[in-house]
Amino acid sequence: MPIPTFYSKKSIQHFNNPKNYGKMKNPDGIGKVGNIVCGDVMWLYIKVGKNDVIKDIKFQTYGCLAAIASSSMITEMAKGKTIKEAIEINRQEIVKELGGLPAIKIHCSVLAADALYEAIFDYLFKNKREIPKELLVKHKRLKKEEELEKRYKK
């Protein structure tokens, strides 16, 4: 897929009319991530039902058009999927579903994917469930970045 230099129609639609936007009451898992470079922040909340299906999902993002469109898109992609399936969603798929993102905005889609991984991690951890290795690796990377950010702010 060629990399566009402008926002796709779908990205603009998601930005103007974000799906699943807002805070969730009593979520089963919360993922909070920030972008160390631009300072944008995202929260993603999940409610998990029978057979580990994500039955509800919401997000709050303080970020750019690409971050909001990616967040909105990932909630649509993850809703109704099992936790195992949701872990498989990656940022390339989000970008593809949005009809592409400008090259300098690709990193914004990472925020949405990371927030989903963290919300799933939080859910599994709280429920003392086994955490898949790839999720643990992602969680450790995010914690390291968070530490770096804290040090940088000081």
Site string for ligand FES, 102-131 (x = CB under 6 A): ------x--x--------------------
Residue 103 burial class via C-beta count within 10 angstroms: exposed 0-12, middle 13-18, buried 19 and up: exposed
For ligand FES (CB under 6 A), the number of binding residues is: 9
Token pair for 5:
């230099």
Task: Give the span between the Cα atoms of 148 and 123, in whole angstroms.
Answer: 25
**Residue 84: what are its φ and ψ, rounded to 5°?**
-60, -45
CB of 85 to ligand FES, least distance (A): 25
Site string for ligand FES, 17-56 (x = CB under 6 A): ------------------x--x-x----------------
CB of 132 to ligand FES, least distance (A): 26
Task: State which residue, 67 or 83, has the beta carbon closest to ligand FES.
Answer: 67
CB of 29 to ligand FES, least distance (A): 22
Q: Which residues contact 111 (CB under 8 A, 6 or more apart)?
A: 33, 34, 35, 40, 42, 61, 63, 67, 70, 71
Catalytic residues: 38, 108
Give the amino acid at 28: D
Site string for ligand FES, 67-106 (x = CB under 6 A): x---------------------------------------
Residue 3 CB-half CA count within 13 A: 6
**Residues at the site binding ligand FES, with contacts judged by CB under 6 A:** 35, 38, 40, 63-64, 66-67, 108, 111
